[in-house]
């Protein structure tokens, strides 16, 4: 129950931030999730992350209070960047029709990093 309430509060803050930007005359579109599962919202023709949306709507101090702790973790950022790289490598090998050891190594690296991301993320709970 606790997590669902927190999630509901977060989503309400997100909705209010979008409305605040709209009331200021910015063109705010419907949020979309890209292939990397990160939600982005079009604001004046530019796709912005949740963090960027909160910063634009209310400034850094309030944005830091709203965002989950993991959003401010430099280790999380680095891990996600690494995961992005290994995922792109894995997809490239799949598209090339590569099989065998290279594909197996790339898949194992991606799966290992994904597991580490989950474990690291749970440390923020």
Residue spans of the domains in the chain: they are: 2-67, 71-122
Can you give the pLDDT of all 125 residues of the chain as single tens digits?
455 677 788 889 999 999 999 999 999 999 998 766 678 899 999 999 888 999 999 998 888 788 765 555 667 777 777 888 888 888 888 888 877 888 888 888 888 888 887 777 666 55
Cα(98)–Cα(36) distance, rounded to whole angstroms?
22
List helix spans (H) across the chain.
Answer: 2-23, 50-58, 60-66, 74-95, 101-122
The answer to whether 73 touches 51, Cβ cutoff 8 Å, is no
Nearest to 36 by CA among 74, 75, 88, 71: 88
């Amino acid at each position: 129950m606790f997590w669902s309430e927190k999630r509901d509060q977060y989503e309400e803050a997100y909705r209010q931030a979008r409305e605040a930007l709209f009331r200021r005359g910015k063109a705010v579109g419907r949020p979309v999730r890209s292939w990397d599962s990160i939600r982005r919202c079009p604001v004046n023709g530019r796709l912005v992350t949740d963090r960027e949306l909160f910063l634009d709507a209310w400034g850094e101090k309030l944005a830091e209070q709203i965002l989950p702790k993991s959003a401010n973790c430099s280790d999380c950022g680095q891990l996600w960047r690494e995961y992005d790289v290994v995922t792109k490598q894995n997809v490239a090998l799949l598209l090339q029709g590569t099989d065998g050891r290279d594909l197996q190594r790339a898949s194992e690296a991606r799966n290992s990093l994904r597991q580490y991301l989950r474990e690291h993320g749970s440390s923020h709970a």
